[in-house]
């Protein structure tokens, strides 16, 4: 208990310090020093009077907690003082152009949700900074690089380089001193260490071995084995998240345990002694950590594993819980930033749940007649999910109802896939054909994991909304602790079981059958997909025309599921920017798409290629259109109004060549303006026939940007305006001036960032609106 108190106090102190700052941390640390010293002196003075008293035992726990606060406060304050070096902070606030000498800390990671396709996130350590005046600053601080040049993609940890760019202020809450935005390639100096080069060779070899496999298992296997998710389809990643299996997408402590356990079994089979077995496991542990890169969960598991191996060699193999507490304490003191890392928190909590809850639950199930193997299989995922639930709820704003059964079904496939994947990586430099065969074997358990995630994500009512952030996490933590204490009593346990079953049986049908969405008579829905567009026009029950797909597959897929859309006879792409085509795979997910309609302009090519690939994979016809063309689909009549001619030399040519459509649904005119800006809007006004632009509903162009032509808004004269826009976007959308102008004209404005999915509805009395709302703690 004393060691656990030390670990928890150190963790919470470091976490608070990252957000509160150095001054507050020093005040708390000073108070903790005084209280700890006084408590220790008091306890030592009464040592001979009540050595076994309960108060005495808890008194030393208080001392341990105080030591954790003092040590973590000092370590975190020292790192924060280095992070907030005044010269670097000043340059970051000025967004000054600089030249930075850096050391790469981790593999570059693509940012899929970024507005600029191909952007990479690179974690680095700063060595030297040269400011715009030529002054050099030597500082060892963490720098986050946002890069667009493909030359950054192949960097390895430990690589020294020089890069030019502009500094920016970080978001806070970690040890990052500044953000460097760069568009150019890095200048490399020398090569990484031999260990990192070897790891890079093995990781690349595993990717080559998985190349012949289908995308889903072939992309999952490198992520499961070495944490490389570069080839993992976004749809699979979202399905794993929806079913509470996202920990399998990256290397975690379970992978370390599997690899070290396999080596330990081989050592015991060969009758190796404790010291030799511990040594072999230690070599495997170091090699695997280098191979997969030291992520927070792997570092935690490796540290705990090292302590556990030492306990094994010394003849004390049951010191798992003290090993976990010691690992947390050491890691937080060495790197306080780990305290705020969600992966680290989930890994520690999952391990704690397995150590504290799973054995008791397993034994309780066995006493009630459950077979030993089944009892173990039921207790392990349930304990891990219960321990991690508050953090997951705080991050996602949801509580998964399918996580425990999904993880239970996944258990038999994890170890074979991991061991075979590691074997394929090790064989790849020596015998590529053999590595491909082993990877093919590993793809079968990987397929099983994909099937579980896919089916679990498609279950209706599989996740429930929950308050997000710290309040939601604390609320679920309190309920979980209260439940664990209460169920110790048989009567309470039976009551909880009855209430839980009644709640599920009573609430689930209501959630599935009477959700209240979509509203009756809807003619258009603007989906809450973040900073992007996705509009839906109903054709028949279960069928709809979709205009644009938003930035992410999961968001548009979720919106279409809520609307009950099973078939899309026509998908229209207004233009090829990522915020309109990034989610195109989500439209095809589980649906038949008849045709894809695109503009004649093909900029940017990355978006065009994404749409073409989705259409080809989904066997949908790929069509282009021009102004004046009509595309009737059932009861939906589409007329292309813009661009009236190709526009060039504008502020944004791709935006100003967006398709602008006038849709007529049940007699209601809806104008879908894409991202058309002032130039295209003005061109349409000058070319349009009288009344041609008039509409009842206007989808505001370009997320409500300020680039709107007043003549265009006057020509449309809508009653309802829909603004698809993302929460907290950095573009200033929607423009306050535009909103004020619409309000003065009596227009009813609905925004997806504040209202969630929004709909225009035809009623017997005319046109009405409906909003689905944004679940607490979640951003559309």
Check residues 773 and 150 and name the one with the higher pLDDT: 150
Return d(Cα 307, Cα 323) in angstroms, integer: 6
3-state DSSP assignment of residue 176: strand
Q: What is the pLDDT of residue 115?
A: 43
Q: Which residues contact 627 (CB under 8 A, 6 or more apart)?
A: 640, 641, 642, 643, 644, 645, 687
Looking at 261-270, 630-639, 665-674, 686-695, which range is the least confident one? 261-270
Q: What is the pLDDT of residue 549?
A: 93
3-state DSSP assignment of residue 761: strand
Tokens standing for 369?
């007649």
Q: What is the pLDDT of residue 113?
A: 44
Give me the mean pLDDT over the 225-242 stretch: 74
Q: Which residues contact 190 (CB under 8 A, 6 or more apart)?
A: 160
Q: What is the pLDDT of residue 322?
A: 79
pLDDT category, 114, cuts 50, 70, 90?
very low
Task: Tell me: pLDDT of 510 over 50.
Answer: no
Q: Is the omega angle on the peptide bond into residue 512 within 30 degrees of 0, that is, cis?
A: no
Q: Is the pTM of this model over 0.85?
A: no
With the C-alpha atoms ordered 14, 16, 19, 23, is the resulting torsion angle positive or negative? negative
- In the chain, pLDDT over 70 holds for what percent of residues? 83
Highest mean pLDDT among 79-93, 234-248, 276-290, 691-705: 691-705
pLDDT category, 283, cuts 50, 70, 90?
confident
- Quick check: 340 and 76 in contact, CB under 8 A? no
DSSP H or E run through 633: strand 630-633
Q: What is the pLDDT of residue 776?
A: 34
For the beta carbon of residue 551, count every other beta carbon within 10 angstroms.
Answer: 25
Alpha helix ranges (H) inside 314-371:
320-334, 342-356, 358-367
Q: Which residues contact 39 (CB under 8 A, 6 or more apart)?
A: 59, 62, 63, 66
Model pLDDT for residues 354-393, shown as the tens digit of each residue: 777 878 888 888 888 888 777 777 777 777 777 877 887 7
The dihedral region occupied by 134, where left means phi > 0, alpha psi between -120 and 50, and beta the remainder, is left
Check residues 188 and 111 and name the one with the higher pLDDT: 188
Task: Tell me: pLDDT of 561 over 70.
Answer: yes
């Amino acid at each position: 208990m004393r060691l656990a108190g030390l670990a928890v106090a150190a963790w919470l102190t470091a976490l608070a310090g990252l957000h509160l700052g150095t001054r507050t941390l020093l005040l708390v640390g000073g108070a903790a020093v005084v209280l700890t010293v006084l408590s220790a002196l008091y306890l030592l003075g009464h040592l001979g009077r009540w050595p076994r008293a309960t108060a005495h035992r808890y008194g030393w726990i208080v001392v341990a907690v105080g030591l954790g606060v003092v040590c973590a406060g000092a370590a975190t304050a020292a790192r924060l003082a280095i992070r907030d070096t005044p010269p670097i902070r000043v340059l970051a606030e000025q967004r000054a152009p600089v030249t930075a000498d850096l050391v790469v800390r981790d593999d570059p990671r693509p940012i899929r949700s970024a507005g600029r396709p191909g952007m990479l996130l690179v974690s680095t350590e700063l060595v030297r900074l040269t400011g715009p005046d030529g002054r050099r600053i030597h500082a060892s601080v963490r720098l986050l690089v946002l890069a667009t040049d493909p030359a950054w993609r192949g960097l390895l940890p430990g690589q020294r380089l020089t890069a030019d760019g502009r500094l920016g202020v970080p978001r806070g809450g970690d040890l990052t001193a500044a953000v460097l935005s760069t568009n150019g390639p890095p200048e490399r100096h020398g090569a990484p260490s031999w260990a990192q080069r070897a790891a890079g060779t093995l990781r690349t070899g595993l990717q080559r071995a998985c190349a012949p496999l289908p995308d889903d298992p072939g992309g999952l296997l490198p992520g499961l084995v070495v944490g490389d998710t570069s080839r993992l389809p976004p749809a699979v990643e979202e399905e794993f998240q929806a079913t509470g299996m996202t920990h399998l997408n990256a290397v975690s402590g379970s992978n370390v345990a599997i690899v070290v356990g396999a080596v330990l079994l081989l050592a015991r089979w060969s009758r190796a002694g404790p010291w030799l077995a511990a040594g072999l496991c230690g070599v495997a542990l170091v090699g695997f950590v280098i191979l997969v890169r030291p992520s927070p969960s792997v570092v935690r598991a490796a540290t705990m594993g090292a302590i556990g191996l030492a306990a094994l060699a010394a003849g004390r193999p049951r010191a798992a819980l003290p090993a976990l507490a010691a690992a947390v304490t050491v890691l937080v003191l060495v790197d306080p930033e780990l305290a705020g890392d969600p992966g680290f928190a989930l890994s520690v909590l999952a391990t704690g749940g397995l150590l504290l809850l799973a054995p008791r639950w397993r034994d309780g199930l066995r006493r009630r007649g459950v077979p030993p193997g089944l009892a173990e299989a039921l207790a392990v995922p349930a304990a891990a999910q219960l321990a991690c639930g508050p953090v997951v709820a705080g991050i996602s704003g949801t509580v998964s109802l399918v996580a425990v059964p999904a993880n239970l079904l996944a258990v038999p496939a994890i170890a074979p896939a991991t061991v075979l994947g590691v074997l394929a990586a090790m064989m790849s430099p020596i015998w590529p054909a053999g590595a491909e065969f082993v990877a093919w074997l590993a793809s079968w358990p990987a397929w099983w994991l994909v099937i579980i995630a896919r089916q679990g994500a498609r279950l209706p009512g599989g996740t429930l909304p929950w308050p997000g952030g710290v309040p939601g996490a604390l609320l679920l933590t309190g309920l979980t602790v209260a439940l664990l204490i209460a169920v110790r009593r048989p009567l309470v346990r039976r009551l909880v079981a009855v209430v839980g079953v009644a709640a599920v049986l009573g609430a689930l049908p209501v959630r599935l059958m009477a959700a209240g969405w979509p509203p009756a008579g809807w003619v258009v829905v603007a989906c809450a997909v973040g900073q992007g567009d996705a509009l839906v026009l109903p054709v028949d029950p279960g069928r709809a025309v979709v205009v644009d797909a938003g930035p992410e597959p999961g968001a548009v897929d979720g919106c279409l599921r809520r609307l009950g859309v099973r078939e899309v006879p026509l998908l229209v792409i207004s233009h090829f920017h990522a915020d309109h085509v990034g989610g195109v795979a989500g439209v095809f997910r589980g649906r038949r798409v008849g045709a894809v309609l695109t503009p004649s302009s093909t900029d940017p090519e990355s978006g065009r290629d994404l749409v073409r690939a989705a259409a080809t994979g989904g066997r949908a016809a790929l069509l282009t259109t021009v102004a004046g063309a009509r595309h009737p689909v059932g009861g939906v009549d589409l007329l292309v109004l813009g661009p009236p001619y190709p526009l060039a030399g504008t502020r944004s040519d791709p935006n100003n060549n967006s398709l602008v459509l006038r849709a007529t649904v049940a007699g209601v005119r809806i104008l879908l303006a894409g991202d058309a800006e002032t130039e295209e809007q003005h061109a349409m006004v000058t070319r349009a026939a009288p009344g041609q632009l008039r509409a009842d509903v206007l989808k505001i162009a370009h997320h409500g940007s300020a680039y709107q032509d007043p003549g265009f808004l006057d020509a449309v004269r809508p009653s309802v305006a829909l603004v698809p826009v993302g929460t907290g976007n950095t573009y200033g959308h929607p423009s306050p001036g535009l909103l004020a102008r619409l309000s003065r004209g009596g227009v009813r404005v609905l925004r997806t960032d504040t209202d969630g999915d929004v709909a225009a509805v035809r009623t017997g009395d005319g046109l009405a609106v409906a909003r689905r709302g944004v679940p607490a703690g979640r951003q559309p």
